[in-house]
Amino acid sequence: MKTLFVTIAFTAGIAGVQAQHMLREANMGFSVNFPAAYRAEAPLPAEKSVGRFSMQSFSCVTSDSTRFVATVAVLPSFSEDEQSIRTILQEVGMPQSGVGQLKVKETFAAKTGELLIDYTDCKSGLPSRTRVFYRNGHLVHLQLMSHKEYRISNGDWKRFSTSFKTDW
C-alpha cells in the first residue's frame, strides 16, 4: 500500500512539472530553458539589420499561446547605461512607450545595468514582460507575451528568466 502511495505521488509530481526544452547555443555561449519546443527566428533582412552587432533570437509558443523569446546580441564595446540600452532596443524594433506599447511598470537597476519592463502590447492587447541586460560584450533580451488569462504568470516568467545561463 505504501508503494502505491509513493508511486501515485511521484506520478502526480511528474505530471505537475512543465516540460522544459533546453537550448544550448554554443556559438553565442548561452543556454535557456523554454517551456515548449523552440525555433530560431529568421535573421533580419540585410536592409533592416543593425550592422554594428550580430544577433541570435529563439522563440517558442506554448499550447496556451504564451510566447517566450530569448535574444542575444554581441556588442563588444557598449555602455551599460539606461539610454544606451533603450537606443539598442529601438534599433532592433522594440517600440517605445505610446508607440506599440502601453507602459505599465518599468525599472532600471543601475548597479546591474538591467531594465525590466511590464507593458501591454498595443497591437495585440497582450500583457508582456521584457528583461534586458548587458554582460561581457553581450546584450540579452528575454521576453514573455501572454495569452493566458491576459496576465503574466510570475511562475512562468521566473522559470524562464532565471534559466538563462552563460559561458561569459
Is residue 8 situated within a structural domain? no
Strand partners, 119: 103, 128
The pair phi, psi for residue 147, each rounded to 5°, is: -95, -15
| CATH number of the domain residue 28 falls in | 3.40.1000.10
- Residue 4 forms part of a structural domain: no
pLDDT by residue (tens digit) across 56-101? 899 999 999 899 999 998 887 777 778 887 777 777 666 555 445 5
Domain count, the chain: 1
pLDDT in tens, 4-57: 343 444 444 444 455 689 999 998 899 999 999 999 987 655 444 555 667 889
Q: By residue range, what is the domain housing residue 91?
A: 20-166
Domain assignment present for residue 42? The answer is yes
Residue 11 inside a domain? The answer is no
Alpha helices in 20-149 (DSSP H): 82-91
153 located within any domain:
yes
Is 12 within a domain? no
- pLDDT score recorded for residue 155: 94
pLDDT at residue 114 tops 70: yes
CA distances from 94 to 29, 33, 141 (A): 24, 23, 10
Residue-wise pLDDT tens digits, 131-156: 988 888 888 999 999 987 778 999 99
Of 123, 125, 129, which Cα lies nearest the Cα of 155? 129
pTM of the predicted model, to two decimals?
A: 0.78
User: Residue 5 domain-assigned?
Assistant: no
Q: How far is 21 from 167, CA to CA, in rounded Å? A: 19
Q: Which amino acid is at 87?
A: T
The alpha carbon of residue 78 and the mean position of all alpha carbons in its chain are separated, in whole angstroms, by 20
Domain assignment of residue 140, yes or no: yes
The C-alpha atoms of residue 151 and residue 127 are separated, in whole angstroms, by 6
